[in-house]
Structure 1
């Protein structure tokens, strides 16, 4: 889906609906998001929102307790994760 053309988005949504039928689990669009690079053309983001009904999220975000980001790694990105691990190590040491 390099250019975010209408046909590709419609095919993607058809696949997601097929997965819903097969798995018996519905996708909660209110809780779902898609993520794009900052340099993605605005028209592509708008088209994706309209055709999918899913909102656009922003980087960085937390998923399963871990920070998801793109770009250069920075110590601040891992500060919370290191704190969580250190806290658990201290608990295990007691």
Structure 2
């Protein structure tokens, strides 16, 4: 059940991350929090399978921090690709 605390924290901080990163008008408001939550869940689960207990701060820092780091990287990558794709499409259409 502790995983829910990590996921809620990752999702909440993912919302804040969405508003802190530039060009937020090019992506949906749920993209960054969803990536942060999914990554935190995967990291938390993998660490639990490796034997890290819930009382270990490493589990919390790695799952929440790693989830946010992956979400930030994925969000920047997505918006960069979107910007380039939009520019290419504008050139194609002659706009």
For the superposition of Structure 1 and Structure 2, which TM-score range results when normalised by the shorter chain? under 0.3
Greater strand share, structure number: 1
Highest CA radius of gyration, 1 or 2? 1
Higher relative contact order, structure no. (Cα contacts within 8 Å, ≥ 6 residues apart): 2
State the TM-score, normalizing by the size of structure 1. Answer: 0.27
